[in-house]
Structure 1
Amino acid sequence: MPQTYAFADPLILYGVPHSLYTGVVRCYLRTQGIAYIERPTSHPDFAQRIMPTIGRSIIPVVMLPDGRIIQDSVDIIDHFEQCRVPWPAYPDGPLHRILAIIVQYYGSQAMLRHAMHYRWSYLGQQEAFLRDAFAAGSGHDMAEKIMTRMQSYLPQLGITETSIPVIEHSFESLLDILEHHFREHPYLFGGRPSVADYGLIGPMFAHLGRDPVPSDLMKRRAPRVFRWVERMTAPRLDAPEFTQYGTDYYANDSLPETLTPLFAHIAEEIFPELTSKLMFMDDHVNQLKPADGQPVSDKPHQRYIGVINTRFRDVPVSAGVQPYLLYMLRRADAVMAGLNESEHSRVLAELQRHGLDQALPGHRGYSVARQNHIEVWEIAN
């Protein structure tokens, strides 16, 4: 068994149990055996030490024992991936790695629609649970304001009376697909979690696996999916049902047939919305002509730069555009750029077979980076 990377002292994780992105980081830290102390945003150190550094109220945030601060679930995972962690989350195989990044994008970005619908559209059936969670994390005085603000995000996520039946059908279909996979495999890409698992666990734990309405649906319809949620939130690798399975990713960049329906599901969900968002950013950058390193928005807390009219499956929806999506998907471009001609052709053919080749943004003359805890434009020379 690999040796656990150990700190002399535990780090501090600022977050709350019902936070989607805090759930991602908490799962990663527990899997890797990294000691941490979790504090809510109501803790005085958050206002006195964290917010002056990151310039906004946002979670998760990690403070390392040496005082360094890291904000953003992807940045936190990528920081520790450079350390000697026992269970690296990026597969070595290029196809595995690219697909894992795309699944991570789907879970942490596209599934916001599912997560926020089930939390707020069913408020009347789970209000006591949610009010207790928000009050415990932020204090009674702030809970109502935060809950009201969160509900205001539904329109820009494309959650309407017209789209809700499609969102619910989508979630049920996803549960069925994952249920079949997790009957045979402990994690998405084999014997340990990848960034794909960490991408999905955010919505599947914090919202859909805890809030009473979707959690009950998951337990009744897809018990193996709920068991995967338990496995992801437990310390280390918690897979006694798969004692003889091993801890490696699938050999030789191969994929089991149980993942084919998942990739098809993701392709149907993210397109044409992702294509429309990339085109919006193309036009935005062309008109704005930002300098290299310029923040993507005028204020640090503003992550949306506009709204597009697109479709979610067969339903027209409006959707906010966050340049952060480009920051996530560029990591897949980087993998492709490092391949020789033969490997490039092989991986591209597999992505095309799954309908996911257009998830890689490709050359556009610009990208998005993160500096000082915010997204900035990165302009090619």
Structure 2
Amino acid sequence: MHQFYAAPHSLYSAKARCYLRKQGIAYREVMPTDARFEQHIVPRIGRGIIPVLETVDGQIIQDTVDIIDHFEARGVRYPAYPSGPRQRVLALLIEYYASLPMLRPAMHYRWSFFAQQERFIRDAFVAGSGAQAAEKIMGRMASYLPALGVSEATIPLIEASHERLLDILEAHFAEHPYLFGGRPSIGDYGLIGPLFAHLGRDPVPEQIMKQRAPKVFRWVERMNAGDLDSPEFPAAGDDFLADDAIPATLEPLLRLIAEEVFPELDDCLAFLDQWVEREQPQDGDPVAREAHQRRLGGVQTRFRGAPVQAGVQPYMIYLLRRVDHFIAGLDAPGRQAVEDYLQAFGLARLRVGSRGYSVGRRNNIEVWEISGR
């Protein structure tokens, strides 16, 4: 049986766990306090991070994308990647949005409201890390808020944005069980990370979700089920919508993403362009000197008009480059149709484009991929 090293309160663990459940993949979940994790897994991957999957044949896979793609390549009952070009690209973009930009509300609602939900959060971290380590980890997590752009000036904007997201998804899940029809896509698996582990489980945001968006909470339940769990939608079937259809109820979400990710994404990419030009990394070099380091620095940017400090994670290129790779594989008419669709919603700038470098993953860490030098 596969061993899944994870924790209930971990955002990225939720993404991979829901996938394993939906596909009927047999696994045993193991807390990172388990001695084998420290003695066997951490030395193999070079850092203490979850989730990690140890397969039945001893392969170690870290990162939700790599875990999901490992099983997708071997065949599963509900493949997560739509074959329709527009559905596929939008699912990948939603995965990116959920994985990085949504860290801001997820971390805000956990740590800005710590006093109101301390007993619940402390219990989760003690169970996942042990009493002594929990204090240090909680302190470190809370200290990330400034780098995520959480401040007195932005908190009202973050909360208004989260409420708007709930309203948009509430309208969508009133008509569809998942983002693109009868089965979850990679976009659904991306969203479940923050919308379950932080925003649908911690007491303060969970109550907001239940009271403001009960159908979103129902989707959270559905995503955690071991089957499609959609009795409210008897005609939905078990596949994505036919003919690459995009529900009209998703269009407000696409506009919201475009409003939320810029200009921060532009500023972060400009930072990375300058960093690569200055540091001249070689192909295959780790993106950071320390294995546990996820940020290379910070930029002064804006979130919904308010000035913020934002950390720069090269991992964003790893996620967004998946969109570029897929679009590049389309024929000319298909490529133009997708690009026109993205342009209509202000999402075309999410393409990373040709920069002379990219970010990949080798041996469970992010590395630079350098071309044209």
- Which of 192, 195, 202 lines up with 1:201 in the alignment? 192
Aligned to 2:214: 223
The aligned counterpart of 1:211 is 202
What is the CA–CA distance in structure 2 between the aligned matches of 1:189 and 1:357, rounded to whole Å? 20
Match of 1:334, SS? Answer: helix
2-side partners of 1:244 and 1:372: how far apart? 43
For residues 86 and 355 of structure 2, the distance between their equivalents in structure 1, rounded to whole angstroms, comes to 22
Q: Pick from 344, 352, 372: which aligns with 2:363?
A: 372
Runs of 4+ in 1 over 4 A off after TM superposition: none
- Percent identical pairs in the alignment equals 59
Please state if 1:84 is matched with 2:97.
no
Report how far residue 372 of structure 1 moved. Answer: 1.4
Which residue number corresponds to residue 122 of structure 1? Answer: 113
Amino acid at match of 1:89: A
Task: Write out aligned runs for 1:92-241 (5 A).
Answer: 92-241=83-232
Deviations 1:225-250 (A, max 9, x none): 00000000111211111112111112
Cα distance in 1 for partners of 2:259, 2:237 equals 32
1:52 corresponds to: 43
Once the two structures are TM-superposed, the CA of residue 271 in structure 1 deviates from its matched residue by: 0.8
Alpha-carbon distance between aligned partners in 2 of 1:154 and 1:303, rounded to the nearest angstrom:
15
Mapped pair 1:291 → 2:270: no
Gapped regions of structure 2 (runs ≥ 5): none
Do residues 305 (structure 1) and 296 (structure 2) align? yes
Tell me the distance in 1 between the aligned counterparts of 2:346 and 2:181. Answer: 22
Offset at residue 96 of structure 1 (A): 1.0
Query: Which of the residues 224, 245, 255 maps onto 1:254?
Result: 245
TM-score by length of 2: 0.99
Compute the RMSD of aligned alpha carbons. 0.7
Match of 2:235 in 1: 244
Per-residue CA deviations over 1:105-157 (Å, capped at 9, x if unaligned) read 00011000000000000001000000111111111111111100100111110
* Aligned-partner residue type, residue 149 of structure 1: R
Measured after TM superposition, the shift of residue 339 of structure 1 is 1.4
Distance 2:95 2:168 in 1: 16
Q: How many residues align?
A: 372
From 11, 18, 23, the equivalent of 1:32 is 23
Q: How does 1:336-347 map to 2 (within 5 A)?
A: 336-347=327-338
Q: Which amino acid aligns with 1:162?
A: A
Output one character per residue of 1:141-196: Cα deviation in whole Å (capped at 9) or x when no partner.
Answer: 11111100100111110011111110000000000000000000000011100010
CA positional deviation for 1:45:
0.4
Partner SS for 1:184: coil
CA distance in 2, matches of 1:75, 1:276: 27
Ranges in structure 1 where 5+ consecutive residues have no aligned partner: 1-9
How big is the shift at 1:42? 0.4
**C-alpha displacement at 1:73, in angstroms?**
0.6
Letter in 1 for 2:263: P
Using the size of structure 1 for normalisation, the TM-score is 0.97
**Whole-angstrom distance in 2 between the partners of 1:313 and 1:24:** 27
SS in structure 2 of the partner of residue 318 of structure 1: strand
Q: Aligned equivalents of 1:283 and 1:251: distance in 2?
A: 43
SS state at 2:50 partner: coil
- From 75, 85, 90, the equivalent of 2:66 is 75
Q: Deviations over 1:280-338 (max 9, x none)?
A: 11111111111110111111111101101111111110100010000011110011111
Alignment of 1:16 onto 2:4: no
Amino acid of the structure 1 residue aligned with 2:221: E
